[in-house]
């Protein structure tokens, strides 16, 4: 028998009562307090030290980030509390199949920097809707995408992470779920609103280290508790709740629990869907999602962006071991709770009658870790929650401000845009909190499956439009809009049907429509992609081709085009901006805003502000002297291109070799666990 805190762990299922109901102790609280103080100190430091008084400084960290915080922020933004709770919960319920999403993401994050980012850099874009506006012209595609992105953030990101963090706190502190959520958001909002992207990236880098240390520590305790991977493979199939329904087949572990490739008809993740349906929303997330791309655009060069993607790709190997396997261990140790199948019992255990697999990770943390380490793991969950939320808040405010508000008010001053972006975060939080009850009842309590299902309904049409825009010069605005609208219409219909006809409990008849019952969401993603692609190609081919201006430097094949594009202004511009445009400044999205800042007339006295107003403006990065914002600094030549496409030959060769090594590691993992 092992010594230490795990010596009393049971080795057989059905022994739940051996464990006392443990809560956080004084040592755990001390670790948590130290963690929050440390994170706030880093956030305040980055807020003070970084340039946050301009739109570019706030939304793109000034374009001065080196590779390691970029890579750490990519990983931390992706691995939120929804991953810890969701991946572990799906591991407990169905086995390792969900790891396919992580391995697929490994390839996609590499494609971001090697394939898509050079196009975005050449096009000098700040947001993804802005790229579509430049590539296709007009505003209906970019506005549609901006609204869609915000809806996706609410449905699959913000509300999911808040719910997952609240589940963890509810289990550890026995607090009300909504009270816990509001408390977390209050802490998170401080340095997000104050510091901008730079503060978010630096705190993400810190929280990545905390997440890795804590999660790997729990992984070690978990494998010791079940006798390693061999012990887990033997005991997992015996982990059945003592309280069963009349149908004895309910709640049993899947026979293919340790395989990623599964039956194409009757499994939870059919292998054709994994190979051909899963990469589509994965490409959307890693290569066109504002949250992710914004971090790479903040890098000081393309080489730093590539190195950051490589770091994130190597780290993407870890979730299978840090989250999925521990979730399966939790089912072995606590089957009566984690694997409960009776709705009344599940309601009592986790306040969710559809199942309690989502408590697998927090249950493991509270029961097998000693004092101090429990506090560290609670800090890990808070790190995961805060890092993902801050990233999404910053990117959401970027999209709303630069693509929607500026579209409505093209003459908005820099100060107005920065205030609007911060206020919008508060509205976004409120709507996300109201969506949490829907998440609780979805997909039999499997949080991660809920995320992927919604993604498969909304993201494929967008991914196809971006891919074709980048790689087929003949794609025009009419074809892109027709394919996007038709694909989104079909996706929204399927999503509504999913919410209207929920999955029945085990043993109950399945009366859902055939389109919901018989077509897996990954297969539906393939159908959506095919419909969108066919419509886009057909309409584009039979209508006029796009102008040279809409292709130059905006596709993979024209990214080195020497032609400098000049966009026609959407509205009459002030003299300062018109002069910049005449001199060849094409970075209209950011530089135009900075030149359009409010200016105090020469010789006029600035109105005096109260101390409260001055403090609020300083928190928002606009606390100068008396003027609203002062004359904007003239745009330098280096500011015209956000990131340089040039790379040193030696550095490029080194990065390409690492790309091959990383891809080979991923292929090996696919083959080993398939």
211-237 per-position pLDDT tens digit: 888 889 999 999 999 999 999 999 999
Residue predicted with more confidence, 97 or 507: 97
- DSSP three-state, residue 65: strand
Instruction: Determine contact, residues 181/170, Cβ cutoff 8 Å.
Output: no
DSSP code per residue over 175-187: --HHHHHHHHHHH
For residue 102, what pLDDT is reported?
92
Task: Give the torsion sign (CA, 88, 93, 99, 101).
Answer: negative
Instruction: Determine contact, residues 480/540, Cβ cutoff 8 Å.
Output: yes
* pLDDT confidence bin for 3, thresholds 50/70/90: very low
Q: 224: how many CB neighbours lie within 10 A of its CB?
A: 18
pLDDT digits (tens, 9 = 90+) for 99-155: 999 999 999 999 999 999 999 989 888 878 889 989 998 888 988 888 888 888 877
Would you state the structure tokens that stand for residue 428, as one six-digit string? 């976004």
* pLDDT confidence bin for 38, thresholds 50/70/90: confident
Nearest CA-CA partner of 24 in 381, 338, 389: 381
DSSP assignment, residue 188?
H
pLDDT digits (tens, 9 = 90+) for 315-353: 999 999 999 999 999 999 999 888 888 888 887 877 777
pLDDT digits (tens, 9 = 90+) for 512-549: 888 888 899 999 999 999 999 999 999 999 999 999 88
- Give the integer Cα–Cα distance in Å for 667 and 644: 31
Helices 302-315 and 67-78: crossing angle in degrees, nearest 10, is 40
Would you state the structure tokens that stand for residue 543, as one six-digit string? 């209508």
For residue 192, what pLDDT is reported?
55
- Give the integer Cα–Cα distance in Å for 82 and 493: 25
pLDDT digits (tens, 9 = 90+) for 584-627: 333 444 444 444 444 444 444 445 556 555 555 544 555 544 33
Give the phi and the psi of residue 84 in degrees, each rounded to 5.
Answer: -60, -50
Residue 285 has pLDDT above 60, yes or no: yes
Instruction: Determine contact, residues 674/259, Cβ cutoff 8 Å.
Output: yes
* pLDDT confidence bin for 632, thresholds 50/70/90: very low
- Give the integer Cα–Cα distance in Å for 448 and 278: 14
H helices within 441-569, ranges in order? 447-458, 460-471, 477-500, 514-517, 521-541
Residue 10 has pLDDT above 90, yes or no: no
Instruction: Determine contact, residues 132/119, Cβ cutoff 8 Å.
Output: no
* pLDDT confidence bin for 186, thresholds 50/70/90: low
- Give the integer Cα–Cα distance in Å for 674 and 580: 56
Q: Give the mean pLDDT of 180-197.
A: 60
**484 belongs to a structural domain:** no
**39 belongs to a structural domain:** no
Would you state the structure tokens that stand for residue 614, as one six-digit string? 């001055």
Would you state the structure tokens that stand for residue 635, as one six-digit string? 């745009």
**507 belongs to a structural domain:** no
Instruction: Determine contact, residues 103/316, Cβ cutoff 8 Å.
Output: yes
**544 belongs to a structural domain:** no
For residue 327, what pLDDT is reported?
93
**370 belongs to a structural domain:** yes
pLDDT digits (tens, 9 = 90+) for 349-399: 777 777 788 888 888 888 888 888 888 877 777 766 776 777 777 778 878
For residue 434, what pLDDT is reported?
75
Nearest CA-CA partner of 304 in 670, 652, 663, 673: 652
For residue 270, what pLDDT is reported?
92
Q: What is the mean pLDDT of the chain?
A: 77
Residue 456 has pLDDT above 60, yes or no: yes
**574 belongs to a structural domain:** no
Instruction: Determine contact, residues 162/440, Cβ cutoff 8 Å.
Output: no
pLDDT digits (tens, 9 = 90+) for 246-271: 666 677 888 889 999 999 988 888 99
**643 belongs to a structural domain:** no
Residue 637 has pLDDT above 60, yes or no: no
Classify residue 189 as left (phi > 0), alpha (psi -120 to 50) or beta.
alpha
- Give the integer Cα–Cα distance in Å for 387 and 572: 40
- Give the integer Cα–Cα distance in Å for 499 and 531: 23
Would you state the structure tokens that stand for residue 327, as one six-digit string? 């979730």
- Give the integer Cα–Cα distance in Å for 645 and 63: 13
For residue 27, what pLDDT is reported?
80
**617 belongs to a structural domain:** no
Number of folded domains in the chain? 1
For residue 589, what pLDDT is reported?
44
For residue 63, what pLDDT is reported?
54
For the chain, percent of residues with pLDDT exceeding 70? 72
- Give the integer Cα–Cα distance in Å for 70 and 73: 5
Give the phi and the psi of residue 529 in degrees, each rounded to 5.
Answer: -60, -45
Residue predicted with more confidence, 297 or 118: 118
CATH number at residue 200: 1.20.1730.10
Residue 198 has pLDDT above 90, yes or no: no
C-alpha distance from residue 614 to each of 49, 196, 233, 627 (Å) = 19, 19, 61, 11
Instruction: Determine contact, residues 465/132, Cβ cutoff 8 Å.
Output: yes
Whole-model pTM: value is 0.78
Would you state the structure tokens that stand for residue 446, as one six-digit string? 């499997």
The range of the structural domain enclosing residue 301 comes to 63-442+650-673
């Amino acid at each position: 028998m092992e010594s230490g805190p795990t010596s009393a762990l049971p080795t057989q299922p059905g022994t739940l009562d051996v464990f006392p109901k443990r809560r956080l102790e004084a040592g755990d609280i001390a670790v948590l307090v130290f963690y929050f103080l440390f994170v706030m100190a880093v956030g305040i430091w980055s807020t003070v030290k970084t340039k946050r008084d301009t739109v570019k400084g706030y939304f793109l960290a000034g374009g001065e980030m080196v590779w390691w915080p970029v890579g750490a922020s990519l990983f931390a933004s992706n691995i939120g509390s929804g991953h810890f709770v969701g991946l572990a919960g799906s591991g407990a319920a169905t086995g390792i199949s969900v790891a396919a999403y992580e391995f697929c993401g490994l390839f996609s994050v590499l494609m971001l920097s090697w394939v898509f980012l050079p196009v975005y850099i050449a096009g000098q874009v700040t947001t993804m809707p802005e790229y579509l506006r430049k590539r296709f012209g007009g505003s209906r595609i970019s506005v549609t995408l901006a609204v869609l992105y915000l809806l996706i953030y609410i449905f699959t990101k913000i509300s999911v992470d808040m719910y997952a963090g609240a589940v963890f706190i509810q289990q550890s502190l026995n607090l009300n779920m909504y009270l816990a959520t509001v408390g977390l958001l209050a802490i998170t909002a401080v340095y997000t609103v104050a510091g901008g992207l730079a503060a978010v990236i630096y705190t993400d880098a810190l929280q990545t280290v905390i997440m890795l240390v804590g999660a790997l520590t729990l992984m070690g305790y978990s494998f010791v508790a079940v006798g390693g991977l061999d012990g887990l493979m033997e005991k997992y199939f015996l982990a059945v709740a003592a309280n069963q329904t009349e149908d004895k087949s309910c709640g049993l572990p899947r026979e293919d629990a340790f395989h990623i490739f599964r039956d194409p008809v009757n499994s939870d993740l059919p292998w054709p869907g994994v190979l051909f349906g899963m990469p589509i929303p994965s490409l959307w997330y890693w290569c066109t999602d504002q949250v992710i791309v914004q971090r790479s655009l903040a890098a000081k060069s393309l080489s730093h962006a590539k190195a950051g993607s490589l770091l994130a790709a190597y780290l993407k190997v870890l979730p299978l071991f840090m989250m999925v396997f521990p979730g399966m261990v939790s089912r072995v140790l606590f089957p009566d709770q984690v694997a409960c199948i009776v709705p009344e019992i599940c309601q009592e255990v986790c306040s969710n009658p559809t199942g309690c697999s989502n408590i697998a990770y927090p249950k493991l943390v509270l029961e097998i870790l000693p004092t101090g380490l429990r506090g560290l793991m609670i800090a890990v969950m808070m790190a995961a929650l805060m890092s993902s939320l801050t990233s999404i808040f910053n990117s959401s405010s970027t999209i709303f401000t630069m693509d929607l508000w500026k579209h409505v008010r093209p003459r908005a001053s820099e100060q107005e845009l920065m205030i609007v972006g911060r206020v919008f975060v508060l509205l976004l939080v409120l709507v996300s909190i109201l969506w949490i009850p829907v998440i609780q009842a979805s997909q039999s309590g499997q949080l991660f499956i809920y995320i992927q299902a919604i993604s498969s309904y909304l993201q494929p049409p967008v991914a196809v439009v971006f891919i074709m825009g980048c790689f087929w010069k003949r794609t025009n605005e009419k074809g892109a809009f027709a394919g996007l609208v038709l694909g989104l219409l079909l996706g929204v219909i399927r999503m509504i049907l999913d919410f209207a006809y929920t999955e029945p409990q085990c043993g109950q008849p399945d009366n859902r429509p055939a389109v919901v019952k018989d077509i897996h969401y990954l297969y539906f993603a393939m159908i959506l992609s095919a419909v969108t692609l066919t419509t886009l190609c057909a309409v584009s081919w039979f209508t006029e081709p796009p102008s040279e201006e809409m292709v130059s430097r905006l596709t993979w094949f024209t990214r080195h085009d020497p032609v400098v594009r000049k966009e026609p202004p959407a509205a009459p511009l002030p003299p300062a901006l018109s002069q910049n445009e005449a001199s060849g400044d094409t970075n209209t999205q950011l530089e135009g805003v900075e030149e359009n800042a409010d200016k105090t007339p020469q010789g006029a006295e600035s109105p005096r502000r109260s101390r409260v107003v001055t403090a609020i403006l300083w928190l928002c990065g606009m606390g100068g002297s008396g003027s609203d914002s002062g004359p904007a600094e003239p745009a330098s030549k280096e500011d015209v291109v956000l990131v340089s496409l040039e790379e040193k030959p030696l550095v490029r060769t080194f990065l390409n070799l690492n790309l091959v090594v990383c891809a080979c590691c991923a292929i090996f993992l696919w083959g080993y666990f398939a």
